[in-house]
Amino acid sequence: MNVETKFIELLRDRNLKATPKRLELLTVVAAFNSAIPYSELQKKLKHFDRVTLYRTLHALLDGGIIHKASVSSDEVYYAMCKEYCTSECHNHKHVHFKCVECLEVSCVNTTNTIQIQIPNVQIQQVDVEVSGVCSKCM
């Protein structure tokens, strides 16, 4: 099964129409080697109306097809969801790593499990954002 067919299935499974714009956005996000910055999406999808990009991103986020990764609260990055995610729950087993040199953000599967405990608190989700220097920039 080719990639496009997989995207169409993914979209229909989430009750989203498989439009050319959505397929194009998904192709761009999936083809990027790391999490793609919003500015990069704008560049690659200049022919998209600003609102269409906004709404398409939201639709895919809500559908659990892509996810956001905003490390150090500057630019927002987007990446494909690897596992099965829904609007209610993003089940990511990875952390987000941002290289302070090349500013590349990637989703990394950590070997060690992150265990957080907070007294008197019912934890639902733990997001870990790591920054440092990647192998290429070292």
Regarding 108 and contact with a copy of itself (CB under 8 A), the answer is yes
Window contacting a copy of itself (CB under 8 A); options: 1-9, 20-28, 48-56, 117-125: 117-125
SS (H, E, C) 5-44: HHHHHHHHHCCCCCCHHHHHHHHHHHHCCCEEEHHHHHHH
Q: Which of 76, 80, 103, 104 binds a copy of itself (CB under 8 A)?
A: 76
Calpha distance 67→93 (Å, rounded): 13
Regarding 73 and contact with a copy of itself (CB under 8 A), the answer is yes
What sign results for the dihedral spanned by CA atoms 126, 131, 133, 134?
positive
> Bridge-partner residues for 36, per DSSP?
78
Regarding 28 and contact with DNA (CB under 7 A), the answer is no
Q: Are 123 and 114 in contact (CB under 8 A)?
A: no
Calpha distance 32→138 (Å, rounded): 22
Q: Which of 22, 67, 92, 96 binds DNA (CB under 7 A)?
A: 22
Regarding 19 and contact with DNA (CB under 7 A), the answer is yes
- Positions that interact with a copy of itself (CB under 8 A): 68, 70-73, 76, 95, 97, 100, 108, 110-112, 114-118, 120-135, 138
- Positions that interact with DNA (CB under 7 A): 8, 11-12, 16-22, 38-39, 42, 47-52, 54-56, 59, 76
